[in-house]
Amino acid sequence: MKIAHVEPIELAAPGDELSSPWSSTVVLVRLETASGAVGWGEAPTTLMTRPVVESVREVARFFEGRDLADAPRATREFERYSFYRSVSMEATSALSAVDIAVHDLVGRELGVPVSTLLGGAIRDRVRAYSNGWYSDCIEPSEFAQAARAIARSGFNAMKFDPFGDEYRTLSPEGLEAARERVSAVRAAVGPSVDLLIECHGRFLPEAAIRAGRALDEFHPRFLEEPVLPELSDALAELRRSVRTPVALGERLLTPAAFESFLARGLVDVLQPDITNSGGFTGGREIAGVAAARGAPVAYHNAFGPVQTAATLQMDAVLPTFLVQESFEGSWPAWKASLVRGYALERGEFRIPTGPGLGIEVDERAVERFRSDAIEPTGPEPPWVVAGTWVRRSPTKGRAKPR
C-alpha cells in the first residue's frame, strides 16, 4: 500500500464559541493511501499551530510515495535529515502526528487495535483525572464549588493550577492565595480524592520550593512542572526539600530525555505527550525506559480527541500506568463533535478495541471547522485555563477566522 498523501488540517473554534486560547485550534493529520484508505493523527498547538502545520509538510516528503510497510525507514530518514529534531517541538510534533496516522492505518488494514501492534493490551479501562474544570475560578469558594461538581460526576482525581497570575517569582500574597485555593478544594472533596497541582513550568527554583513546601500539608498526588524547564537541574534540590512527588514530561521530546531525567533524580512521575515525543514509535521506547526504572506514567493529554484515542492505546499496554489526563468534560462542543468511538464514564476511560485507534473521525465536521485561524492572545497566556488570571468577558478567548 503506497502512502499517497499526508495532509495537515487546522481546525478552529467557531466565532460564537468560547474556549481557552490553547484549546481554540486543533491540528489533525490525514494520511491517505493510493487505494483510498485513511489514517488519522494529531499534533499539539499552544501558540505554534502554524509552525507545526508547516513542519507536517516537511515530514510528509519522507513518507509520500513509500509503501506503508516502509514507514519506519521514513521515520529514521527524517531523523537523520532533521538536524534540530531532538530540540524542536515543531519537528517532533509533526513526526509524531504522522506516526500516529501510520499506526492507525496499519491497525485498520489488519483489523486490530494499535494496542495489539504494541504488544497487546493488559487493561481495558483506565482511571482518569479531570482538568480544565476550574475555568473562571479565582476565589477559593469558586474552586471548591467546581471541585465538588467534578467529584460528584465520578472523578476521584483532579488537576488544577492554583497560582493565578504569579510568574517566575511567588509573592507572599500569591502563595497564601494558592494555599487557600488548595485548602478549599481539599475540604470540598475530602481525603479520598487525589489532588494534582499544576505549576505550568513557570517558577524560579526558590519560588517552586516554597510552593511545594506550603502545599505538602494537603498531600497532593504530584506537583507538575514546578520550575522553568531551562532550570530543571534545580529539581534535584526541590525533591530533597518537598515531600510531594514531581511530575513532568510534556516538554520532553525523546526517550533519551526521559531516561536522563530519571537517571539524574529529577522526576518521580513521567508525563510524555504522544503528539510530540515520537507517537507510538517513541511511545514504545519511553514505556521501556519507564518500566526499566519503575517510573509511573501519566500521559499528558490536553489537545483533541484523536490525541485522546491514541493515548488510550498507549495506556492499554503501559506496565507502569498511573492515571490519564482528561479535558473532555470542559471541551467546547465543536471539539467533542470531531470523533466518536471512545467513552468516559464516571472518571474512567474505556479503551477502544476497534481497528487502529478504534475511532471514527467525522470528516464532515472536519470540513466544517477547517480554518487558518491563529490562536488568540491576551489577557492570559495561551497555556492558562481561561478566567483563572483575570475575569474574562464574553468576547474573550475566541479564535478568529482569517
pTM score, two decimals? 0.96
Q: What is the pLDDT of residue 21?
A: 65
CATH of the domain at 349: 3.20.20.120
Distance CA 398, CA 156 (A): 31
In a domain, 3, yes or no: no
The number of domains in the chain is: 1
In a domain, 389, yes or no: no
In a domain, 18, yes or no: no
Distance CA 261, CA 233 (A): 9
In a domain, 193, yes or no: yes
As given in the structure block, the three cell numbers for residue 17 are 464559541
On the 0-12 / 13-18 / 19+ scale of CB atoms within 10 A, 37 is middle
Q: What is the pLDDT of residue 19?
A: 67
User: 3-class DSSP state for residue 392?
Assistant: coil
Query: Does 320 score more than 50 pLDDT?
Result: yes
The contacts of residue 96 (CB under 8 Å, 6+ apart) are 41, 43, 274, 275, 276, 277, 278, 279, 282
Q: What is the pLDDT of residue 74?
A: 98
In a domain, 203, yes or no: yes
Cβ–Cβ under 8 Å, residues 49 and 27: yes
Q: What is the pLDDT of residue 393?
A: 63
Range of the domain at 177: 116-357
pLDDT tens digits along 184-208: 999 999 999 999 999 999 999 999 9
In a domain, 248, yes or no: yes
pLDDT tens digits along 86-98: 999 999 999 999 9
Query: Does 218 score more than 80 pLDDT?
Result: yes
DSSP 167: -
Region 10-29: mean pLDDT is: 81
User: 3-class DSSP state for residue 160?
Assistant: strand
Distance CA 63, CA 61 (A): 6
Which of 5, 103, 200, 219 is flagged as catalytic? 200
In a domain, 316, yes or no: yes
Q: What pLDDT band is residue 391 in, cutting at 50, 70 and 90?
A: confident
CA-wise closest residue to 349 among 380, 381, 308:
308
pLDDT tens digits along 107-124: 999 999 999 999 999 999
In a domain, 124, yes or no: yes
Region 259-263: mean pLDDT is: 98
Distance CA 348, CA 128 (A): 5
Verify whether residue 200 is a known catalytic residue.
yes
Number of C-alpha atoms within 13 angstroms, CB side, residue 143? 25
Q: What is the pLDDT of residue 18?
A: 66
The DSSP secondary structure of 317-382, one letter per residue, reads: T-TTB--EEE-GGG--HHHHTSEES-EEETTEEEPP-SSBTS-EE-HHHHHHTB--------SS-T
